[in-house]
Structure 1
Amino acid sequence: MFADACDKAAKFTRPLIISTRHMDGKVDATCGAFVILNKEGWIMTAGHMFDSFVKFQGDQNKIKEVEGLNSSRGPGTGHMPGMIRTDPDWLTNHSFWWAWDGVRLVEAFVDRQIDICVGRLEPFDSKWITEYPVFRDPNSLRPGTSVCRLGFPFANVESEFDESVKSFRIKKGVLPLPLFPNDGMHTRNVLKGRSKEGNYEMLYVETTTPGLRGQSGGPIFDTKGRIYAMQVQTAHMPLGFQPTAEYEGKRVVENQFINVGLGIHTKTIQTILKDRNIKFQVEGEKSGYRIS
């Protein structure tokens, strides 16, 4: 049912790999997804993909402060009595990999409350993408509609830090990342009020299936491949069942939950894109692009 739609969505859905290095030298890598919106290289992804960068910026300030305080107390290694120790979990290096080497994100707008980011890739060649997304008419979304989600879960993403050039390198064998779709049904719309940043309506599409790690920022689309929403969160809904089970000779209560997905409604996405004069395609428009 979604084979053709997945073919379409795969053409404009790309992986976002985030690499971080800690004070103790540990390197971590995580993955999400982003959608390329138009020939100018504008993209959208989940706002929480930038949480580690916010931490990195905060940790850099802490490191500079500690180094300044320690240096004012005289020469030392940081382990002498009276010296302030750094936290091994502080981030010393951070990197975004936007599906191509040497590409960065500029003109970024992040609304963390809604959980969305839009920005422009630079440099960007429109020939990299053979088909761009079409958004569904926001007034046509109905509960009961079959939808599909696409991203990069279950991938073993690993990076290493090259000290000689002070940069990250994705380990051999990681790329290309395999796309993974999972389908479900639009159950209901969830309205969470309005965001403080931009005063946008925080409207979400709830689905019967959860989003998986690696699918954040990826598209939720209908059987024709039209953008229905963007995956940002998985919610855990209590079912009210509390069966008991025995573990190691003890009786324990197991609360039962259903995991559902939440994606930013195309109505909210389109409002943000129009406010920022970002071109995008909408179903039924012969012109191909709409811009406010």
Structure 2
Amino acid sequence: MFADAIERIDPFTRPIHSIVRLYGHNEIIPGCATLFFVNEEGCAITCRHVADLITSAGTINAHYRKFKGARREVLSERDAAQRISQLETSYKLKSDTIIQIRNTFIGCVDLYERLTIHSHPTQDLALLRFEGYNRALYRSHATFLGDTSRVKAGRSLCRLGYPFPEFTNYRYNKTADEIEWTTEGRINSPRFPIDGIVTRLLSESEAGAITGIEMSTPGLKGQSGGPLFDTNGLIFGMQSATNHLHLGFDIEDREVLVNGRRSRVSNYPFLNVGQCVHVSVIKAFLREHNVKFYEG
């Protein structure tokens, strides 16, 4: 149903690859998110929580570099272990603390001079402006739904994103104590569509304006920031989050047969539904920042 639409959406929908390292660990945690371009001028949108990860990377990396400098100064001391422990407390470093983040934008533009990010004050939406580049690596751009009254319960829509971080072009540099990108390994992650029907339109208050679209299927991690579209490729919104609705069909300590053996089980089922930013919110935000976009 959405095969042709996906081919129209794919040229301007791109993955954001991230690698993260926690304190005290050499293992690298890969992750993905999604953005899509709204015009031919290097302007794209994604989720605010994705943009926060991008903007926080510099501060987090600088904080750990400062800690490493302080640690080097005490390594030769007789009570080095105690002093390092004190530094860990001072710098608020624990085993689950993120200490390094690296992000890269795949297939967006060539080398750019600046990336300006504007985050929506209340919605999970952010605008990215790539500036000072020579050549765009994406093709085409989004066309947003003009008649927003067409966003109704029961309409079939699809989302496209990059939920599975299968890239491997990274490593931990033990000498520098840094995570870094490499020229070896797989550089791409697979695109992944998931469809569903609109179940509800969401607002932040009883009489408030519609700001979100609920879908009957979940949005997967990594699809955050990806477009929500119809069979014609018109953009109805952007994938933001997944909510978990308790169904109430709870089972507690019930005896069942599992692989031919009697077992007692409990189950508390939830329905995982996707939440998307409504197209009207996106268009209003783009107008506020004087960003050119297209409607259809």
Aligned counterpart, 2:249: 241
- What residue number does 1:205 align with? 213
Q: Which amino acid aligns with 1:150?
A: L
Q: 3-state SS of the aligned residue for 1:128?
A: coil
Distance (whole Å) between structure 1 residues aligned to residue 266 and residue 31 of structure 2: 33
- Quote the residue 1:229 is aligned against: 237
Secondary structure at 2:49's aligned position in 1? helix
In structure 2, how many angstroms separate the alpha carbons of the residues matched to 1:15 and 1:106?
Answer: 16
Secondary structure of residue in 1 paired with 2:86: coil
Instruction: Sort the Cα spacing of 1:258 and 1:41 in 2 relative to 1 into closer, same or farther, 3 A.
Output: same
RMSD: 3.4
In structure 2, what is the Cα distance between the partners aligned to 1:78 and 1:52?
33
Structure 1, 161-170 or 90-99: larger mean CA deviation: 161-170
Match of 1:181 among 185, 193, 197: 193
Match of 1:128 among 128, 137, 162: 137
Rounded to whole Å, the distance in 1 between the matches of 2:197 and 2:117 is: 32
Segments of 5+ residues of structure 2 without an aligned counterpart are none
Secondary structure at the residue paired with 2:157? Answer: strand
Secondary structure (helix, strand or coil) at the match of 2:218 reads coil
* Preserved CA contact (<8 Å) 2:239 2:274: yes
SS at match of 2:18: strand
> How far, CA to CA, are the matches of 1:201 and 1:64 in structure 2?
46
What's 1:18 paired with? 18
In the TM superposition, 1:144-159 aligns within 5 A as: 144-158=154-168, 159=170
Q: TM-score, normalised by structure 2?
A: 0.79
Give the aligned residue type for 1:2: F
Task: Quote the offset at 1:175 in angstroms.
Answer: 2.8
State how far apart, in whole Å, the 1-side matches of 2:137 and 2:115 are: 18
Asked whether the equivalents of residues 166 and 190 of structure 2 are also in contact (C-alpha less than 8 Å), the reply is: no
Which string of whole-angstrom CA distances, capped at 9 and with x for unpartnered residues, describes residues 188-227 of structure 1? 111125xxxxxx9671110111101121110010110011
Greater mean deviation of Cα atoms: 248-257 or 220-229:
248-257
Q: Is the 8 A contact 1:154 1:214 kept in 2?
A: yes
Residue 110 of structure 1: CA displacement?
Answer: 2.0
% of aligned pairs identical? 28
Give CA-to-partner distance per residue, 1:150-204, whole Å, 9 cap, x none: 01123424432446786621574433322111111111111125xxxxxx96711
Q: TM-score of the superposition, structure 1-length normalised?
A: 0.80
Q: Which runs of 5+ in 1 are unaligned?
A: 194-199, 284-292
Distance in 1, matches of 2:211 and 2:62, equals: 35
**Residues 40 and 81 from structure 1, CA distance in 2 versus in 1: closer, same or farther, beyond 3 angstroms?**
closer
Q: Secondary structure at the match of 1:270?
A: helix
Counterpart residue number, 1:288: none
- Counterpart CA distance in 2 for 1:184 and 1:156 is 25
Q: Is the 8 A contact 1:34 1:44 kept in 2?
A: yes
